[in-house]
Structure 1
Amino acid sequence: MQKLYSTLFILGFFFTNAWSQVTTDPAFPKADESITFTIDASGTGLDGYTDDVWVWTWISQGCTGSCDAPTNVNPATSAQSAALATRSGGDPNVYTITFTPTDFFGKPASEFEQIGLLLKGQDWSDGQTSDYFVNISSGAFEVDFTTPTSFPLFVNVGENVEIAASASENADFSLTINGVEVATATGTTTIAHTEVAGASGSYAVEVIADNGTTTATDEFTFIVRSTTEVADKPAGVIKGINYDPDDPTKATLALLAPMKSSVYVVGDFTNWEIDPAYQMKKDSELFWLEISGLTAGEEYAFQYLVDEELYVADPYADKILDPDDQYIPANTYPDLKAYPEAAKRDKWYYNRLAVLQTGQTAYQWQTTSYTMPAEEDLIIYELLIRDFFANGEENYQNLIDTLSYLEDLGVNAIELMPIMEFNGNESWGYNPTFMFAPDKFYGTKNKFKEFVDKAHEKGIAVILDIAMNHNDIPAPYALMYFDFNNSKPTADNPWFNTDAKHPYNVFFDYNHESAYTQDLLDSINHYWLNEYKVDGFRFDLSKGFTQKNSGGDVGAWSSYDASRIALLKRMADDIWSHSPDAYVILEHFADNTEEKELADYGMMLWGNLNHAYNQNTMGYADDSSISWGYYGNRGWSSPHLITYMESHDEERLMYKNLQYGNVSGTYSVKELNTALDRIKAASALFYTIPGPKMLWQFGEVGYDKSINTCPDGAINDDCRVSPKPVPWNDAEGLDYNHNDERMLLQATVAEIIKLKNTYRIFQTTDVTLGQDGLVKELVLKNDPYTTTPASSDQMNVYIVANFDVATKTVNAAFPHNGKWYHYFAGGHALNVSATTQSLELEPGEFIIYTDVQLPPPPDELLKIITAIDEDVQSTGMLFYPNPASGLLRIRTASPDTQITISNMSGQHMMSEKIKDQEVRIDIRHLPTGVYIVTLRNNFKTVTSKLIKN
């Protein structure tokens, strides 16, 4: 280092605590005193902006909760006038705003260590600046560097480095560089010095100020640049963290960074300082560096500093640290490495750290003979771990413990909403940032492997929902080429489009025609299929895998796109080259010609029948056709349509049943038990249609909280992705497991799925879906078809349901004459003498008939048919099922009804007073036979026969 000269002077200036574009008056601002902020928007997204500008501000350090200013509302209105900035008369890009932080935020001074702020137009789309940060003074004596203002600071050999510091009161100063004093000042509030940069290396600058009673210090480091060394990467080194299987004391890091000039590794092993010894070498577009001196089994956090300004974590790392990790419960992630305080940076998007660990113990897989379910047999359970368990219990271990529940339900595949590292902890996961790292909010990577292992042990496939239409920052490949002023990727970004090419895009749109994106996508797919042994993917927003620019035109976006088809086939081919049985599922919703081509190629596609099924369950005929739920009716030759009544993205059937259900006389879909019964009927005409099926979590118990339910119970569109209450009985639960009707729905769904999983008829290609308004029929004929089946392998099926709110007489279209067996009546036989057999169905009733008698379902389910002896609904009193074997349900128009059951000799077998309008009575103790049921209230008496099986 060469010391040339120092200049001492006293300055009267505003002190810049963070960026040179922000100054404050006073220079050392206090939380409980008025502060004037002056912000220069030149070179930002508001450069030259002429309309009103607002300040968006928050407490970035010191805050204990609710850290945003109350004026942070978008779009801004007159109600946020306190945050309106004043444009300078001399320079229209310079703005000022004055406020006292404690008053402005409504918080005590103790919660202010640093304030973050930015300028924005009325709406985000109008433009904004970058984030700026201002340190808040505690009032104690202090000293801060005022020049330079932007860090990290890199300079060239021989370049002048301007250094200045300011104290909060008169003091004596000493300024040192690498421990050598280069300047002093006495009895003043400022010191300044110009240093000429010497040889390449790191230079630590420290200022010491002494006011006679207290000594205060501040420091920074500047780096004198050196040219990046060009060197061939070692053999076998690939992108990401490379471990040496023979030497756990070292690892080689490799970052692909096209068009970048320099990369430094900073981390635990550099004490989070920029160390020239950790500047990476360059091999074409790949930067690499061997890190030595490591201890086997010890975790090391690190980042890359790219082009001297961008801090990114390794995009291929399998573990990412984040300041929000402190909120992850220890029971979910034991011994989680703490986020290093020294690594925290002012800008939130620079606060992601990769973790490397040599000498890891590999997970020992236990299930080695697992066979994936056939595509056409899939019963997929879509699941968001966050909302599947109570707060603090959202983890893989609890999911492992729940596998038996899902197995009993008949599920043979679990589709997890995205688990790749995403921003925040409580998220749907469609804001991913690091695609190779399981998000720690759900547990460790080995616990996830154990979950997959245990699922496979039970014959259950694991499908990952993956968002590769887009990523969010701080995804490294977005962040390394990002226009922070306009909040979008730069035009030269090798992976991302500057602007999305299609409607409904979120975050930042991948360019799927880029070879860089394709290589990354293929690596991600291969990694999860091989490292974690998952069985396939559901690709979110797959219709966005296109460079055909449809702007905001949804119709144009959905039309046949040959380029998109080619991109998806290319991806699928790569997957099947190493994992030939992997499921490739698309959330596509494009033109049927395109979907048919993709389905014929081997991909599966989501089939959204939410609206149609909900119209049926609510009792409305408009748009109630479910024919599109069968792949054959779309002209597809392969059973690759994954139909669903509910998904994470659709309103819950039961919510709409209860809110908007149809009503006729005493029959109301808005009544809970009636609404639940209609979900049973829908299930009977859903799971039985050939082809794979999907259900959304808790649909099997009639979950009735809106998709837009807020944590406080209100319904608001803004709460769509907010946490939802769990249905089970605990501190946060809805107690569904103690509701008999919900448990009967669950058992009915399981029994219908059991039918689908057991009998080959539900894979037939001879399918007829008929409808007459709200009466729906499904005819399944075996192949080869026979009217005299000798076993269940040859049987045929006829299913009918009445979704009207009134009793309907149905001309049932049985495939042939002869005996047909009512499955949920214990195989009660109906002798069909004409193929248009007349059947009377109560509202919400369904019947599954088979022409081979099957083993009956459990007793508690033999309650689904209605009376066959006498129609008593018109009397206002109804009992069912009939025949019955276990529980008898009585429904009346008014309470205080007396029920008496007598045998054919007139002997009273039981008598009970009914207080409610609907009850169940246990008749399992009655001998088999025919009985007389008498229902009597103050207005009428109804008598009918009951057959007890």
Structure 2
Amino acid sequence: MKKITLLILLISSFTFSQVQNVTFSVSPATFNETDAITITVSNITTASWGVSDIYLWSWSYDSSGENSMDSPTNGSWSSSNEAQKLTNNGNNTYSITFTPTTFYNRTNIGSIGMLVKAKDGSGDKKSQDKTYQVGTFQLTLNTPTEATTVLDSGQTLPINATSSIAADFTLKANGTIINQKNNATAYSYAPTVTENTTYLLEATNNGEVQNTSFNAIVKPTITEAALPSGMKDGINLNPSDNTKATLVFYAPGKEFIHLIGSFNNWQVNDAYLLKKDSSKDRFWIELSSLTPQTDYTYQYIIEADLRVADPYSTVVLTENNDQYINATTYPNLASYPTGKTNHAVTLLRTGDAAYNWQTNNYTKPAKTDLVIYELLIRDFDELHSFDAVQNRLDYLQELGINAIELMPVMEFDGNESWGYNPSFHMALDKYYGNTNSFKQLIDECHRRGIAVIVDVAFNHASGQNPYYRMWNTDNGGYGGQASANSPFFNQTATHSYSVFNDFNHSKQAVKEYVKRVSQYWIDEYKIDGFRWDLTKGFTQNCSDADQSCTNNYQQDRVDVLKEYADYQWEKDPNFYIIFEHLGGNTEETEWVNYRLDEGKGIMLWGNHNHQYNQATMGFGSDADFSWISYKNRGWSVPANVSYMESHDEERLMYKNLEYGNSNGSYSIKNLNTALKREELAGAFYFTVPGPKMIWQFGELGYDISIEENGRTGNKPILWSYLANEGRRAVKDTWSKLIKLKLKYDIFETSNFTLDVGNANGLNTIHLTDPTATDIQNITIIGNFGVTTQSIVPAFQQTGTWYNLLENNANITVTNTTAAITLAPGEFKVYANKPASLTTDDFTIDDKNTIKLYPNPAKTHFVLSDKTNKVSVFDITGKLVKTYSKEDIESNYYVISTLKKGIYFIRIKDIKNQILTKKLIVN
């Protein structure tokens, strides 16, 4: 298809259609560029696209087959021009008539290409491509029907062709004339094939020549050989000899496979015929004499016909996208072998030095403490790179988050994408940078105490995926559907949320693929967790039309996802596993409890966008967000990764400004008022025990609709928001709330209640923990209404209470049920003790009255004088360690459980003076 950067992306609530194979015909059958022609399409089911009209999407080439140009009236992929709507003939056929020179606005046309599509072609609402040659003199090859025919040595190859007018035929074999026939409209000949041969058939009429080429391959003799021990699918580098590499390719049912690439000029050569281990359905080859730190590129050519990259590529090069990746993002990117081959190719390098990880003792935040920042690199920074994200870590650390979740960074179709159109699951998408820059980002995140979670789409693969191309109805193309004998894909999806090509997770080959890929990412990049996209799709029990079945409990889905969880914990026992299931509580509860007694268990996305947005817009109806409490789901642990916004949800601020409620002069459609509502929402969000997630720029009140420029289209990158005081105030308030959550143990209590969703908008949260060493009681009150109202706070006790977000301003409570008046949008976070939200109160002891050494330290430190009490705080001011009297008496303070970073050691000396020392742990 001419359009090369089609952005077709996953939206969980939508169903996408497969490419249709329709029937094209042209009248007259042969034509010149100045002739009026009629294109007719039949065998099409428009209803499957949800439309009744179809449109032509077309392009043309010059007489040399070069200089492709789109039809000037194509329109855009999401909105075809009405000028190219086909006429419905009423008999399930559609037609359009045009003259090529006028239609394409050019002359010297050699061929035209086309497809038909829905007006909005997003989601594969298109047909396959069709090409017609221009000119009344045409040569048609009838047999062989394939570009490459495989024969035994000594077999004949029947060749049959016709010419639209009488012509002289010449057949050449590897450049040598072997047969001719003059003044004929039909040609036939059957040469005997004893070697690999490229045939060229020419037809000449009055000096004009038409030709077609095709190949015959002599079936090679396969060497059966056991796969060497320890070899995995894909590239296996030799640890003791960087001039060697072994490639392993799983290809059941295939007879023979050659390796083609930069080391053999992309030619089929039996010296690069892969050996076969039939017992494992695998082909393999050991390459030798490789030059270390040199770029090699390769493909497998299956039975001398289908060219595919390695399904387990770690870097792929693509012919239509790499040219748009700049050297700043990806320095020294290898060049695609233009003119040598087509489709994606695999990059192979040996002898590169292993990345030198700087942070090796990183400890992940506890699951309940997670505050995740979800971001799409494309829309987060104009440089759209891992390096750009790394340069923004100061900002994220200041916000207080302790994890980032990257939308998919595995190789996807095109360059600019949400990433849910994966083509090579084990390769890093180059549009974001190279493997070293990704590792540097992770390394730096870990140094700062920030976990890295990667969004993965193992439910499906795009048409570029080699394992899809090897078994499909599109003859190895990107369209059609999976063949019945595919070891990987369902012919039709077995769930109702299908996009692209649906993996069959009951197949052993798919399980091995997922295991190999997922474990590679953990080993290679030291990532801390996966967010699994669209886990509802992992069942094989339903149909694409049965949403009820998909949403109900499915035992096979539960079983296979547990198996996948085991694969990850096999590599990292503390790996975060998060499912985007958004389904029934019974099924999700089973995952939450899976291996929970071992300290594991699976986390689930929790979508509270609608309820929180109803509240921020000032509407009491349907504003009950109490489902954010894991206790309401009957869970024993806070395993719900809750969010008010995600990549898939409308932005709170957009709806605040568009649809916000009002009363008199108080209007939520006012920017500053709407922003204050975001602060209010944060107070009733971050304080609820359990992991939380922020969508990028939510902390600045991002108010651009998710639908702007198309749902998955590029969105404005508005770091300029930081110049707005009201937007900064949202960030500052959320930052304080996050620091409270992470610093004080009460926010991990199981003793809490939510009284929210009330029609008048008056909401309260109470948290209680009598055993906490600092704050034992929290009472939060807020007015989500649009009028001034009084609320009964129901404080847990009388006495002095502190407003934590207003510099611990205190009130004396003599009656716990005495009402407090709140203006619309106003809220208070009260505690029975004051809180410190910064490290400013850690006054460093510069006089060295007590010395601490060694510093930096790794396993322990000692003090130069006697003390009464020693405590350790992290950089956020959270107490992370205290020492017993025995520790203090021994004057040996063990810190081996602390991760690398900066800490504050608070010391009470024998005179009961408080001193603070800064300690670096490395």
Q: Could you give the per-residue CA deviations for residues 482-513 of structure 1, whole angstroms, max 9, x where no partner exists?
A: 12398221222222222222212212222222
The corresponding residue for 1:234 is 228
Which residue number in structure 2 is paired with residue 338 of structure 1? 335
> Which stretch of structure 1 is more off in the superposition, 228-237 or 624-633?
228-237
DSSP-derived class of the 1:462 partner = strand
Q: What's the secondary structure of 1:568's corresponding residue? A: helix
- What are the equivalent positions in structure 2 for 1:598-609 lying under 5 Å apart? 598-601=591-594, 602-609=601-608
- Residue 818 (structure 2) pairs with residue 837 (structure 1): yes
1:252 is displaced (CA, Å) by 2.3
Of stretches 233-242 and 642-651 in structure 1, the one that deviates more from structure 2 is 233-242
Correspondence for 1:847: 828
Change (3 A) 1:157 1:283: same
Aligned to 2:106: 108
Is the radius of gyration larger for structure 1 or structure 2?
1
Tell whether the 8 Å contact from 1:387 to 1:394 is kept in structure 2 after alignment. yes
User: Partners of 1:297 and 1:683 in 2: how far apart?
Assistant: 51
Pick the aligned partner of 1:312 from 308, 311, 333. 308
How far does the alpha carbon of each residue in 1:213-272 deviate from its partner, in whole angstroms, 9 at most, with x for none? 999987554322235433322333321122223333443222111222232222223333
| Mapping for residues 910-925 of structure 1, pairs under 5 Å | none
Structure 2 distance, partners of 1:644, 1:212, is: 73
Residue of structure 2 in register with 1:556 after alignment = 549
Measured in 2, the distance between the counterparts of 1:703 and 1:848 equals: 25
- How much does 1:419 deviate? 0.7
Q: Would you say 1:782 and 2:780 are equivalent positions? A: no
Q: Is residue 677 of structure 1 aligned with residue 676 of structure 2?
A: yes
SS at match of 1:289: strand
Identify the residue that residue 873 of structure 1 maps to in structure 2.
Answer: none
Q: 1:237 is matched by which residue type in structure 2?
A: M
Q: Is structure 2 residue 447 aligned with structure 1 residue 457?
A: yes
Match of 1:325 among 301, 314, 322: 322
2:284 matches 1:288: yes
1:678-731 Cα deviation digits (max 9, x unpaired): 000000111111111000000000000111011xxxxxxxx1101101112xxx
User: Number of residues paired by the alignment?
Assistant: 797
**Greater Cα offset, 209-218 or 514-523:** 209-218
Residues 496/699 of structure 1: CA separation in 2 closer, same or farther (3 Å cut): same
Corresponding residue of 2:808: 827
**Deviation sequence 1:377-416 (CA, Å, 0-9, x none):** 10000010111122xx111111111111111111110100
Q: Does 1:616 align with 2:601?
A: no
User: CA 1:40 to 1:266, structure 2 compared with 1: closer, same or farther past 3 Å?
Assistant: farther
Does residue 721 (structure 1) correspond to residue 712 (structure 2)? The answer is yes
In the alignment, the residues of structure 2 paired with residue 356 and residue 83 of structure 1 have an alpha-carbon distance, to the nearest angstrom, of 50
Cα distance in 1 between the residues matched to 2:605 and 2:350: 41
Show CA shifts across 1:291-339 (max 9, x none): 3443322222222223444332111010111121111222111222222
Structure 1 gap segments, 5+ residues each: 1-18, 346-350, 711-718, 729-734, 786-790, 860-949
Corresponding residue number in structure 1 for 2:481: 488
2:192 corresponds in structure 1 to 197
> Match of 1:938?
none
2:665: which partner in 1? 666
Determine helix, strand or coil for the equivalent of 2:688: coil
Is 1:703 equivalent to 2:713 in the alignment?
no
Matches within 5 A, 1:422-501: 422-484=412-474, 487-501=480-494
Q: Distance in 1 between matches of 2:811 and 2:89?
A: 80
| Cα distance in 2 between the residues matched to 1:386 and 1:423 | 14
SS at match of 1:837: coil
Q: Percent identity?
A: 41
Contact 1:45/1:129 (<8 A) preserved: no
* 1:661 counterpart letter in structure 2: G
The reply to whether residue 369 of structure 1 matches residue 361 of structure 2 is yes
Match of 1:182 among 175, 178, 182: 178
Deviations 1:649-702 (A, max 9, x none): 011000000000001000000000000000000001111111110000000000
Structure 2 vs 1, CA of residues 756 and 292 (structure 1 numbering), >3 Å: closer, same or farther?
Answer: same
**Cα deviation, residue 783, structure 1:** 4.0
CA contact (8 A) 1:761 1:781 kept: yes
The equivalent position to 2:519 in structure 1, one of 521, 526, 533, is: 526
CA contact (8 A) 2:85 2:96 kept: no
Instruction: Write the mapping of 1:632-647 to structure 2, written as runs, cut at 5 A.
Output: 632-647=631-646
Give yes or no for contact 1:45–1:128 (8 Å, CA) kept in 2. no
- Give the SS at the match of 1:778: strand
Please state if 1:271 is matched with 2:265. Answer: yes
Tell me the amino acid that sits aligned with residue 300 of structure 2.
Y
Which residue of structure 2 lines up, in the alignment, with residue 416 of structure 1? 406
Task: Give the 3 Å change call, closer, same or farther, for CA 546–659 of structure 1 in structure 2.
Answer: same
C-alpha distance in structure 2 between counterparts of 1:337 and 1:532, whole Å = 22
Residue 154 (structure 2) pairs with residue 155 (structure 1) = no
- Equivalent position amino acid for 1:720 in 2: R
Counterpart residue number, 1:946: none
In structure 2, distance between residues paired with 1:270 and 1:236: 27
How big is the shift at 1:86?
11
Aligned counterpart, 1:767: 752
Pairwise CA distance, 1:78: 9.3
Secondary structure of the 1:812 match is coil
With a CA cutoff of 8 Å and minimum separation of 6, indicate the structure with the bigger relative contact order: 2
1:257 equivalent to 2:251? Answer yes
Cα distance in structure 2, aligned partners of 1:67 and 1:324: 22
Contact 1:173 1:209 survives alignment (8 Å): yes
- 1:148 to partner: Cα distance: 5.0
Q: Kindly tell me: are residues 63 and 622 of structure 1, through their superposed partners in 2, closer, same or farther at Cα, counting changes over 3 Å?
A: farther
> How much does 1:129 deviate?
6.6
Alignment-derived partner of residue 536 in structure 2:
543
Note the aligned Cα RMSD (angstroms).
Answer: 3.8
Answer whether contact 1:161 1:196 (CA < 8 A) is retained: yes
Counterpart of 2:256 in structure 1: which amino acid?
S
> Is the Cα–Cα contact under 8 Å of residues 152 and 309 in structure 1 kept in the other structure?
yes
- Structure 1 residues 558, 98: closer, same or farther in 2, change over 3 A? closer
Deviates more, 1:278-287 or 1:834-843: 278-287
Residues 58 and 70 in structure 2, CA contact (< 8 A), matched pair in contact too: no
Q: For the residues of structure 2 that align with 1:223 and 1:34, how far apart are their CA atoms? A: 41
SS state at 1:741 partner = helix
Cα distance change, pair 704–73 in 1 and its aligned pair in 2 (3 A): closer
Paired letter, 1:677 = K
Structure 2 residue matching 1:360: 3-state secondary structure: coil
Deviations 1:884-917 (A, max 9, x none): xxxxxxxxxxxxxxxxxxxxxxxxxxxxxxxxxx
Separation in 2, partners of 1:402, 1:121:
41
Q: 1:163 to 1:464 in 2, by over 3 A?
A: same
Asked if the contact 2:740–2:837 (Cα under 8 Å) also holds between the matched residues in 1, the reply is no
Deviations 1:538-582 (A, max 9, x none): 000112221221653434322333332222222212221221010
Spell out, residue by residue over 1:4-29, the C-alpha distance to the aligned partner (whole angstroms, 9 max, x if none).
xxxxxxxxxxxxxxx9x989789986
Verify the 8 A CA contact 1:197 1:224 in the aligned structure 2.
no
Label 1:116 to 1:502 Cα distance change in 2 as closer, same or farther (>3 A).
Answer: same
Matched residues in 2 for 1:383 and 1:131: separation?
36
Asked whether the equivalents of residues 798 and 814 of structure 1 are also in contact (C-alpha less than 8 Å), the reply is yes
Deviation of 1:340 (Å): 2.0
Distance 1:452 1:189 in 2: 69
The offset of 1:752, in angstroms, is 1.3
Amino acid at match of 1:369: N
Counterparts in 2 of 1:189 and 1:775: CA distance versus 1, 3 Å: farther
